[in-house]
């Protein structure tokens, strides 16, 4: 239904995402205490009590519509919150049907009617009303940058995602066959509609040509300069905006739209690039089956190129790394301004927690550097608060119990003079 309504991706892959959102997410949260006393610290004399936030306004994307609805309903209800889904306008029907299915299952097992709701007539004013309503406690926004910014601008607490311009670095120490298989499969998975999908390969020079051959065997087609230019003009408008008609499309469809042909069985299109930034549109996030390609001489240069890509629209999100040299792996972990670094796995499935140990989630925070309140994979922990009963551990200082003599405050002019002198000293040192 999601594929029929949006035209995006691969139905079989969307089914897998739905199963992940239902089974894997539930298994990760089922044993989390969210009701009553959830923790005791006898040494510190603290008792922790879970407290639901209230009503969650959940904005969902067109790229992963049904799976995101399943995921958000589960983590909200587990936290004892009510939830109202606000679907993307192009995915209303499939999101509504998913929410109805979830609500029926919940109510059949004792949930109050209305705990789970979904908007059917979606408009910008309507979604704004939902987000700013006095009874809305928190906003859970998954989607494009404008929508996330709108959520953050309401004055309500909001969990938002950041864009994912995700580089994948392949080191000379990597299992090259595995890297080639995983990169192509990950980029082709649901036609690259998950924001943690690889956007550009950064290949260590000594293994670059071998990686090319192995990826070609997996269905990667490396474009000519003419074909690369055709894709630049197809995927992006002159101001850098994405051509939405190209989102979530198979590689063969994109090639035909651009005006060239590719072999049968082509899964991804790979464009050799040498620049990052506004002057190179294909160095942006591409929510479709097109990969950038950069060669780098050594992991240090690879590290620098990855940082360039992350800074150009992917701050705080994710990076994928194929390497067996632990020094290189740790160096990337220390240096990159992202909060998910998936090692030797598919970026698409590793960052969301299907093939790694991170919390299973379809809303991936980008941290402060990416404009999000957290860099976590959002889960039920983020949708309830914790009250703490705190017993006295020690008597207060005597001075706190004895009435003190009032004293006059400092002279404002003296305070200003001190502040000025400190600022001057700081500026001198710079």
Q: Quick one: pLDDT at residue 407? A: 67
- Cβ(198)–Cβ(231) below 8 Å: no
The whole-angstrom separation of Cα 249 and Cα 235 is: 11
Query: Structure tokens of 194?
Result: 């998950």
pLDDT in tens, 376-388: 999 999 999 999 9
Query: Structure tokens of 140?
Result: 């859970």
Give the mean pLDDT per block of 10 residues along the chain (430 residues). 95 97 97 97 97 96 96 98 96 98 96 96 92 95 77 85 91 98 97 95 98 98 97 93 94 97 96 96 96 97 96 93 96 91 96 96 91 92 97 92 76 84 81
Other Cβ atoms less than 10 A from the Cβ of 405: the count is: 4
Confidence (pTM): 0.89
Q: Which residue matches tokens 């999908």?
A: 197
Q: Quick one: pLDDT at residue 75? A: 98
Domains with residue ranges and CATH for the chain: 2-161+378-387 (3.40.605.10), 166-356 (3.40.309.10)
- Cβ(372)–Cβ(365) below 8 Å: yes
Q: Active-site positions?
A: 195
Nearest Cα neighbor of 143 from 92, 195, 188 is: 195
- Cβ(45)–Cβ(391) below 8 Å: yes
How many alpha carbons lie under 13 Å from residue 292 in its C-beta half-sphere? 30
Helix H, strand E, coil C: the string for the chain is CHHHHHCCCCHHHHHHHHHHHHHHHHHHHCCCCCCCEEEEECCCCEEEEEEECCEEEEECCCCCHHHHHHHHHHHHHHCCCEEEEECCHHHHHHHHHHHHHHHHHHHHCCCCCCCEEECCCCCHHHHHHHHHCCCEEEEEECCCHHHHHHHHCCCCCEEEECCCCEEEEECCCCCHHHHHHHHHHHHHHHHHCCCCCEEEEEEEHHHHHHHHHHHHHCCEEECCHHHHHHHHHHHECCCCCECHHHCCCCHHHHHHHHCCCCCCCCCEEEEECCCCECCEHHHCCCCCCEEEEEEECCHHHHHHHHHHHHHCCCCEEEEEEECCCHHHHHHHHHHCCEEEEEECCCHHHHHCCCCCCCCCCCCEECCHHHCCCCCCECCHHHHEEEEEEECCCCCCCHHHHCCCCCCCCCCHHHHHHHHHHHHHHHHHHC
The whole-angstrom separation of Cα 174 and Cα 207 is: 9
Q: Which residue matches tokens 């600022």?
A: 423
For the chain, the residue count is 430
């Amino acid at each position: 239904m999601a594929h029929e309504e949006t035209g995006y991706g691969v139905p079989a892959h969307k089914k897998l995402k739905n199963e992940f959102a239902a089974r894997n997410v539930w298994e990760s949260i089922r044993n989390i205490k969210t009701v009553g006393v959830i923790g005791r610290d006898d040494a510190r004399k603290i008792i922790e009590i879970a407290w639901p936030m209230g009503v969650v306004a959940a904005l969902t994307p067109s790229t992963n519509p049904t799976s995101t609805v399943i995921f958000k309903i589960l983590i909200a209800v587990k936290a004892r919150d009510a939830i109202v889904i606000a679907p993307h306008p192009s995915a209303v029907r499939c999101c509504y049907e998913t929410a109805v299915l979830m609500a029926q299952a919940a109510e059949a097992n004792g949930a109050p009617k209305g705990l789970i709701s979904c908007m059917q007539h979606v408009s910008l004013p309507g979604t704004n009303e939902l987000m700013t309503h006095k009874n809305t406690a928190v906003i859970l926004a998954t989607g494009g940058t404008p929508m996330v910014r709108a959520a953050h601008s309401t004055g309500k607490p909001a969990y938002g995602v950041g864009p994912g311009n995700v580089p994948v670095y392949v080191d000379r120490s990597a299992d090259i066959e595995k890297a080639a298989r995983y990169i192509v499969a990950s980029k082709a998975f649901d036609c690259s509609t998950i924001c943690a999908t690889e956007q550009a390969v950064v290949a260590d020079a000594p293994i670059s040509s071998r990686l090319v051959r192995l990826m070609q065997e997996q269905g990667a087609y490396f474009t000519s300069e003419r074909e690369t230019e055709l894709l630049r003009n197809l995927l992006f408008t002159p101001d850098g905006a994405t051509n939405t008609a190209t989102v979530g499309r198979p590689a063969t469809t994109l090639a035909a739209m651009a005006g060239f042909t590719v072999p049968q069985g082509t899964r991804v299109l790979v464009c050799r690039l040498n620049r990052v930034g506004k002057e190179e549109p294909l160095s942006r996030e591409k929510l479709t089956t097109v990969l950038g390609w950069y060669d780098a001489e050594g992991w240090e240069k690879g590290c620098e190129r990855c940082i360039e890509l992350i800074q150009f629209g992917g701050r705080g999100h994710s990076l994928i790394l194929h390497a067996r040299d632990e020094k290189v792996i740790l160096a990337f972990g220390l240096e990159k301004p992202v909060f998910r670094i998936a090692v030797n796995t598919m970026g698409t499935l590793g960052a969301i927690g299907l093939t790694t140990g991170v919390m299973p989630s379809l809303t991936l925070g980008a941290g402060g550097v990416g404009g999000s309140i957290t860099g976590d994979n959002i889960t039920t922990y983020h949708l309830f608060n914790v009250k703490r009963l705190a017993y006295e551990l020690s008597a207060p200082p005597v001075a706190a119990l004895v009435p003190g003599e009032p004293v006059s405050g400092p002279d404002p002019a003296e305070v200003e003079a001190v502040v000025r002198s400190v600022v001057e000293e700081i500026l001198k040192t710079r």
